[in-house]
Amino acid sequence: MAYKAELESLRSHTCPEWFNNAKLGIFIHFGLYSVPAYAPKGFALGLDPSEEERFFHNPYAEWYQNGLRYGKGETFEHHKETYGEDFPYARFADMFAASEFNADTWASFFASLHARYVILTTKHHDGFCLYKTKTTEYNSVDKAAHRDFAKELADACRGHDVPFGVYYSGLLDWTHSFDVITDNDKMYHPDHDDEALAELSYHQAMELIDQYHPSVFWNDIKWASKGYDSMLEVLVHYYNTVPEGVIDYRFPYDLHDYYGREYLYGDVPEGSKWELTRGLGLSFGYNRYEDAANFISVHDLIALLIETVADNGNLLINTGPRADGTLDPIQMHILSEMGIWLDDRQEAIFDTEVLPNSKQITDEVKIYGTRNEHYEYYFAVSPTADTFTLPFSKPALVLGKDSVTMRAEGNKTMVKLLEPYKYPLVFRVERDRKD
């Protein structure tokens, strides 16, 4: 079907099946902010004491430039001590060479995790583009790296049969707006939200669509307010150019193919398709000052994936590469362990749907469920003892190498662990044909 630049037409678009089934995506925040690689250790989004505290002590390394604009505070003082007070943020473009970047190494690693899509920050709020654009010389091809990171990664991901998507900052561009953002109102109403910004957003978005045909167009923080009409033209062009394309939930007019949350922030209507995104630590961009205490554990990452998928969501987990183009070993370890867990259990995650009434949170264990055409899958998370019960009495197969004994007791199954609990367990039972 051909879409039109009208709200009714765009709202008729539905989330394609591939995205419903994808379940796991990799977000990549990579850019000039990877050079200083600094942010205060604040709070996870949704746990902030106040908006003002959130922005002043922003734990997102990709917001480094906004931190400088305060003229005080941890980021400003760090910058002054490390680079000098008169060192402009834009000079990081001369240091961002990413000489060790290898797109195939990244793509191969993400494929090994069983990721079903990858999204790259092609332009974050600082306005620096990681692709060849005609709109500005402030891009990775014309500056020190002399590389089109978007093209290289798109080609590599597709070479590993992993769909490639783009992140784009639709409203914020700090080469165009100059006031410090201190709260949500200033974030959604920046200075210089004018025709020039609308024109820039339109042309850059059209470039991304035409040059990379992204499987996901992940827009951030709405759109230039003077460009809502041209934004509709962008979305029409996207849907008509990429028939199986997906847009996120941050466009104006409530245009979306799914809903979403960031860390603990965001509301999702019950039963809707949604996506949870977060970093492995408190930041999306690489923060060299984060330590083990700031990162999610392997167990909790696996549990988060299970909980999200069992609630009809996808997990878009972020990794922040270092400025030289290499992936951070700590983050790689956490992701690798998740991938190893998935090796023998992926059938319970991918290409599944919600198993109704399966979620049970008790003092002894947390139970979640999914199903496909042939099987039901039950996940046992964080049992508090070496025995617990499952809500079925049918014969079950344990996926993976977990060692347990099982016996039916009435309409339930008693499970006894034969080795210490480490990661969530998965039980498969045949689905009743009447379901």
What pLDDT sits at residue 386? Answer: 96
| From the candidate CATH numbers 3.90.25.10, 3.20.20.80, 3.30.470.20, 3.40.50.2000, the one assigned to the domain spanning 7-343 | 3.20.20.80
Q: How confident is the model at residue 9 (pLDDT cuts 50, 70, 90)?
A: very high
Q: Which of 407, 358, 338 is nearest to 112 (CA)?
A: 338
pLDDT band at 432 (very low <50, low <70, confident <90, very high): confident
Are β-strands 274-279 and 313-319 bridged in parallel, bridged antiparallel, or unpaired? parallel
Q: Is the dihedral of CA 24, 25, 26, 28 positive or negative?
A: negative
Same fold, 7-343 and 353-430: no
For 34, list phi and psi in degrees, rounded to 5.
-70, -15
Average confidence score pLDDT of the chain: 96
> Tell me, what amino acid is at 285?
G
pLDDT above 90 (res 434) = no
Enter the tokens of residue 10: 């765009």
pTM here? 0.97
Cα end-to-end span (Å), the chain? 33
Residue range 22-30: mean pLDDT, rounded: 98
**What's the longest Cα–Cα distance across the chain?**
73
Average pLDDT on 321-345 reads: 98
pLDDT digits (tens, 9 = 90+) for 108-165: 999 999 999 999 999 999 999 999 999 999 999 999 999 999 999 999 999 999 999 9
pLDDT at 48: 78
At 292 the pLDDT is 86
pLDDT in the model for residue 435: 53
Cβ–Cβ < 8 Å for 399, 344: yes
| pLDDT reported for residue 49 | 84
Whole-number pLDDT of residue 47: 83
Question: Does residue 42 carry a pLDDT above 90?
Answer: no
| Domain range list for the chain | 7-343, 353-430
Write the pLDDT tens digit of every residue in 220-250.
999 999 999 999 999 999 999 999 999 999 9
Pick the CATH number of 353-430 from 2.40.10.220, 2.102.10.10, 2.60.40.1180, 1.10.8.80: 2.60.40.1180
Computed on alpha carbons and rounded to an integer, the radius of gyration of the chain in Å comes to 23
- Average pLDDT of 10-34? 98
Percent of the chain predicted with pLDDT > 70? 99
Name the pLDDT band for 433 (thresholds 50, 70, 90).
low
The mean pLDDT value for 289-293 works out to: 91
Tokens for 227, please give them. 């460009």
